[in-house]
Amino acid sequence: MQQRLLIATSPYRHREASVRALMLNVLYALLPGIGLYVWFFGWGVVVNAVLATLVAVSVEAAMLFARRRPLRLFLTDGSAVVTAVLLALALPPLAPWWVTVTGTAFAIAVAKHLYGGLGFNPFNPAMVGYVVLLISFPREMTMWPAAGVISGEYAGFLDSVRIIFMGSSAAGMLDAITGATPLDLMKTQLGLNQTVTEILASPVFGDFGGKGWEWLGNGFFLGGIWLLYKRVITWHIPVAVLTSLFLMALISSALDPGSHPSPLFHLFSGGAMLGAFFIATDPVSAATTPKGRLVYGAGIGILTYIIREWGGYPDGIAFAVLLMNMATPTIDYYTQPRTLGHEKP
Amino acid sequence: MSSRLHGFPGGLILDGHKAISSGRPSMRAAIPERLFIPLQQHIGEPAEALVRPGQRVLKGEVIGAASGYFSVPVHASTSGTVVEVADHPVPHPSGLKCACVVIEADGEDTWFERSTIADPTRLDPAALRNLIRKAGVVGMGGAGFPTFVKLNPGPGRHVKTVILNGAECEPYITCDDRLMRERPGAIVAGAEIIRRATQAERCVIGVEENKPEAYQALRDAASDGVEVVQVPVRYPIGGEKELIQVLTGREVPSDGLPAEVGVLVQNVATAAAVYEAVEKGQPLISRYVTVTGSGVSEPRNLEARIGTPLRDLLEQCGMREGEVTSLIMGGPMMGFSLRDADVPLVKTSNCVLAETGPDSNAGLPVLPCIRCGSCAQVCPVKLLPQQLYWYARAKDFDKVQDHHLFDCIECGCCAYVCPSNIPLVQYYRFAKTEIWGQEREREKADLARRRHEARLARLEREKREREARHRAKRAVLSGKDQKMEGDAAKQAAIRAALERAKAKRSSSGDRQEGAARQRTD
């Protein structure tokens, strides 16, 4: 033993686990949802996701460089890619390229790095990017294609590229395939004093949500189950989000079924499934105690319902998540678990 | 009698690496040329050396006397000559030196006279405790708490259940396993003695399910009053509070002792030492120790004398000289690094883990905490390691205590699972040390303030006395002027002197009282 012995502190063992593995698992879990997205709504989402990823990684690199942080370490953690893909999934699949670029750049540069980068952002970066776009470019952000099965039009990969990068005039196809989303339609028609049953007769709707949309819900649900199985997330947040949304809708539709769609419609429309399993569960900006995660998730479900029913926007997941992000430190402080050997707090 | 088992939160199923060393029977380690026996191998006051260089000592002879209540004596672990009593490196996380008695062994291993008691079953608890104390028995599971102190739970507390800890949940360590297999009788007899000493109703020995041979051996040896129970393999089930929870379903209060829930926990090796002490009159001078890891060619358990340099033990297990890159005292989850092998075996040393190859944690990049909460899921005390880390990092020591930092047992589960590879336990140790430091500073400041106030009071008093003296003198002088008798003047002077002396006495009395108060504060 001539050489010096290694001096370190216990524990001297470590489980094979890394932030990158967690992030990769999130991306894998998104695959079924993305596949169904492509099937029903064309290749636009893939083009957007690739574009957003390129922008996210470039902006991440620039910010890391500016902040003098190790580039390789943080560029390979996968968190920027997850933000980019989640944002792309929230955008209309045929949104113009500059919408995606602006949103992603804002999400990474402002919502993530100006707050301190990985682990320090109080708000979910993808949702900050989304909300910035929704407020700044309302027209572009509400041009959603209907499912191919309804419109008879399907945006293939090249069509999507053309529409995204050259605009609708270049392709001439956008107007034919875009329309209101089921949530949007429900909201406007209810505003015109139609009943839920009358509205649901529209070909936009499927079994309990929008045609195609409900399948997306299934895809994200499947991915969410896989995340639970891989222990990337715990059950608390998705269960709390979906249960509270379900209960809110159940109570309203039981009281007045004519003007409030069913709970299942809410669960399988818009961003509910994606939000519950993938967005609300972003660990950095979510509550971290078990009880706190239930409170946090329930808050998101309730706020989403309130915004959908009585707010100005057809969907409310993004605003609900950001609002609950603000409450996270307080929730965590007041929901500490009872430490062993202590009385109930 | 069967016990229903309870759960404990969190925990981990770790790769045990136990078969490396548990297969071979234990071996008696050779007598080393020189033994370095530390005078402090227990929590409390160090023992006081009773021997001088050049003095011949016999095996089992007391070489260090207990000083004060919270202390135990230290014995020579073989016969030989005392070379020196001086500071030497001892196994300690910060590489401290401590006073050691260095004995040059004569190789004859001659016993000091042993006094055996005819019928130990007739001894009362106090006599038992005394015997256990005289034999220098301390907790051998790691903490080194004087056993006789633990056996005296104090007035108003009754121990109902004695638990012997044979869980040995840390990877690599197998010394208790071998001891349970090879000397189950001693453990069971020790358990009976502990039960008598505490007048407990029940005695349970908990053994992890991965040690079926040890379990069977204890079952075969067990008397009516001793239950042997298998507990699930889940680290850190061998933690005192965790084992109590699993076996009794009760939680030990945060700042309390197990006795508050009617439980006393002793390690199985301690029980065997208690048996040796009481029935055979033998002090604690040797113990089972696991020497294992990739750094030795014959990993095994040794029964080694306290004070044997670890280098001797490693060499007897075929140390791969030149290849060993790290030495860990204890297990890989809670042990600590040694700077070299030239430290002695002490009463609390259960394992020496010699490793080769690069540091297993080196090269793992540390990323910021992403608050995933994996750490909270494995914490056996139900802390929020992610929040503790956050506040410890920010040096927000109030918040860190709000989150019960001092309930952390430093088991390392949180750091083991952290996907960002954050050395969490290090942050908690840092925060604890800082808080202790601040408390010491505060105490010092309080003491200084009280001293300052006492000084001001003394100065004030002295001023008053001086003035009184001057007045008296003036009175005497003016008396002379009035041609008072010389006797009266003398008497006045004597009175004044007496008063002075009295005042001085009382003021020094005040000071002593003040000092005493400060000490008790």
Q: Among A179, A198, A214, where does a domain finish?
A: A179
Instruction: Select from B294, B264, B338, B346 the least CA-distant residue to B75.
Output: B346
Percent of chain B with pLDDT over 70: 93
d(CA A240, CA B155): 50
Tell me which of A4, A6, A112 to substitute to probe the interface with B (most B C-beta atoms closer than 10 Å): A6
Find the mean pLDDT for residues B237-256.
Answer: 92
3-state SS record for B267-286? EHHHHHHHHHHHHCCCCCCE
A172 and A26 in a single domain? The answer is: yes
Task: Please report, rounded to a whole number, the percentage of residues in chain A having pLDDT higher than 90.
Answer: 59
Chain A partners of B426 at a C-beta cutoff of 8 Å?
Answer: 9
Residues of B with CB below 8 A from A283's CB? 370-373
Question: Is residue A62 located within the same domain as residue A169?
Answer: yes
CA B273-B279-B285 angle, 5° bins? 35
Comparison of pLDDT for B517 and B295, the residue scoring more? B295
Average pLDDT, chain A: 89
Q: Is the pLDDT of residue B509 over 60?
A: no
Query: Which residue's structure tokens are 């202390």?
Result: B71
Asked whether residue A175 falls in the same domain as residue A237, the answer is no
Confidence of residue B397 (pLDDT cuts 50, 70, 90): very high
Give pLDDT, residue A345: 60
Q: B483 pLDDT exceeds 60?
A: no
Instruction: Please tell me which of the candidates B253, B360, B370 has its beta carbon nearest to residue A341.
Output: B253
Q: Is residue A231 part of a domain?
A: yes
| Per-residue pLDDT at B43 exceeds 90 | no
Alpha-carbon distances, residue B391 vs A112, A337, B454 (angstroms): 21, 17, 39
- Give the lowest-confidence range in A185-199, B48-62, B257-271: A185-199
Using a CB-CB cut-off of 8 Å, the residues of chain B touching A329 are none
| A10 occurs within a structural domain | no
| pLDDT for the residue B513 | 47
**Cβ–Cβ below 8 Å for B171 and A12:** no
Residues A109, A111, A114, CA angle at the centre, nearest 5°?
60
**Angle at the Cα of B208 (from B204 to B213), degrees rounded to 5?**
95
Q: Domain coordinates of chain B in residue numbers?
A: 20-110+120-356, 365-521
B130 touches chain A (CB under 8 A): no
Say yes or no for a CB contact (<8 Å) between B325 and A9.
Answer: no
**A183 to chain B, closest Cα gap in Å:** 32
pLDDT tens for A225-243 read 999 999 999 999 999 999 9
pLDDT of residue B491: 79
A299-327 per-residue burial string, b: 16 or more CB within 10 A, e: under 16: bbbbbbbebbbebebbbbbbbbbbbbbee
**Percent of residues, chain B, with pLDDT higher than 90:** 73
Sign of CA dihedral A110, A111, A114, A119: negative
Residue B189 has pLDDT above 90, yes or no: yes
Domain boundary pick from A128, A146, A179? A179
CA A175 to chain centre: 26
Q: How many CB atoms lie within 10 A of CB B311?
A: 18
Residues comprising chain B, all counted: 521
Average pLDDT in the B391-405 region?
93
In this structure, are residues A316 and A307 in contact, taking their beta carbons and an 8 Å threshold?
Answer: yes
Same domain, A256 and A282: yes
Instruction: Using CB atoms within 10 Å of the CB of residue A101, give its burial: 0 to 12 exposed, 13 to 18 middle, 19+ buried.
Output: middle
Question: Does A142 lie in the same domain as A93?
Answer: yes
> Residue range B474-484: average pLDDT?
72
Q: Is B176 helix (H, G, I), strand (E, B) or coil?
A: helix
Domain count, chain A: 2
Query: What distance in Å separates the CA atoms of residue B341 and residue B327, rounded to the nearest whole number?
Result: 8
pLDDT digits (tens, 9 = 90+) for A168-198: 654 455 565 666 778 887 888 887 778 888 7
Topology annotation, domain B20-110+120-356 = Rossmann fold (3.40.50)
- As a whole number of angstroms, the distance between CA A238 and CA A224 comes to 8
Regarding whether A300 and A237 lie in a shared domain, the answer is: yes
Tell me whether residues A19 and B419 touch, CB distance under 8 A: yes
Q: Do B387 and A288 touch (CB under 8 A)?
A: yes
Query: What is the spatial distance between Cα B383 and Cα A336, in angstroms, rounded to a whole number?
Result: 8
Select the more confidently predicted residue: B131 or B142.
Answer: B131
CB atoms within 10 A of CB A188: 13
Asked, for residue A344, whether it belongs to a domain, the answer is no
Residues A206 and A145 reside in one and the same domain: no
| A252 occurs within a structural domain | yes
What confidence tier does A222 reach under pLDDT thresholds 50, 70, 90? very high
Please name which of A192, A214, A193 lies closest in space to residue A204, comparing C-alpha atoms.
A214
Shortest CA gap A32–chain B (Å): 24
Model ipTM?
Answer: 0.89
Cα–Cα distances in angstroms (integers) from residue B214 to residues B180, B187, B204, B238, B303, in the given order: 5, 11, 14, 15, 17
Read off the pLDDT of each residue in B421-434 and give the average, rounded to a whole number: 93
Please tell me the pTM assigned to this model: 0.86
For residues B175 and B290, is the Cβ–Cβ distance under 8 A?
Answer: yes
Domain match, A190 and A110 both: no
- Chain segment A21-70, per-residue pLDDT in tens: 999 999 999 999 999 999 988 898 999 999 999 999 999 999 999 999 99
pLDDT digits (tens, 9 = 90+) for B146-161: 999 989 877 778 899 9
Q: What average pLDDT score do residues A320-344 get?
A: 93
Bridge partner list, B75: B62
C-beta separation of A318 from A129 below 8 A = no
**Which of A6, A119, A120 faces B325 most closely, judged by CB atoms?**
A6
User: A25 and A159: one domain?
Assistant: yes
A140-160 pLDDT, tens digit per residue, is 888 787 776 666 677 788 888
- Give the bridge partners for B352, in sequence order: B291, B329
Residues A138 and A235 occupy one common structural domain: no
Q: Which range marks the domain in which residue A303 is found?
A: 184-335
B357 vs A contacts (CB less than 8 Å): none
List of chain A residues whose C-beta atoms are within 8 Å of the C-beta of residue B241: 340-341
In the predicted structure, residue B282 carries a pLDDT above the cut 90: yes
Mean of pLDDT values over B29-40: 94
Q: Are residues A175 and A245 in the same domain?
A: no
**A332 to B245: CB separation less than 8 angstroms, yes or no:** no
Residue B336, pLDDT score: 93
Question: H/E/C letters for each residue in chain A?
Answer: CCCCCCCCECCCCCCCCCHHHHHHHHHHHHHHHHHHHHHHHCCHHHHHHHHHHHHHHHHHHHHHHHCCCCHHHHHCCCHHHHHHHHHHHHCCCCCCHHHHHHHHHHHHHHHHHCCCCCCCCCCCHHHHHHHHHHHHCCCHHHCEECCHHHHCCCCCHHHHHHHHHHHHHHHCCHHHHEECCHHHHHHHHHHCCCCHHHHHCCCCECCCCECCHHHHHHHHHHHHHHHHHCCCCCCHHHHHHHHHHHHHHHHHHHHCCCCCCCHHHHHCCCCHHHHHHHHCCCCCCCCCCHHHHHHHHHHHHHHHHHHHHHCCCCCCHHHHHHHHHHHHHHHHHHCCCCCCCCCCC
- Long-range contacts of B40-43, Cβ-Cβ distance < 8 Å, separation of 24 or more: B40/B98, B40/B99, B41/B74, B41/B138, B41/B144, B41/B306, B41/B346, B41/B347, B41/B348, B42/B71, B42/B72, B42/B138, B42/B144, B42/B145, B42/B146, B42/B347, B43/B70, B43/B138, B43/B143, B43/B144, B43/B145, B43/B146
Per-residue model confidence (pLDDT) at position B485? 60
Is the Cβ pair B368, A283 closer than 8 Å? Answer: no
Residues A102 and A155 placed together within one structural domain of the fold: yes
Domain boundary among A179, A195, A226: A179
Residue of B364, B384, B408 to mutate, interface with A, max A Cβ within 10 Å:
B384
What pLDDT, on the 0 to 100 scale, is given for residue B237? Answer: 94
Residue A75 lies in a domain: yes
* Bridge partner residues of B88 (DSSP): B98
**Alpha-carbon distance A227 to nearest alpha carbon in chain B (angstroms):** 13
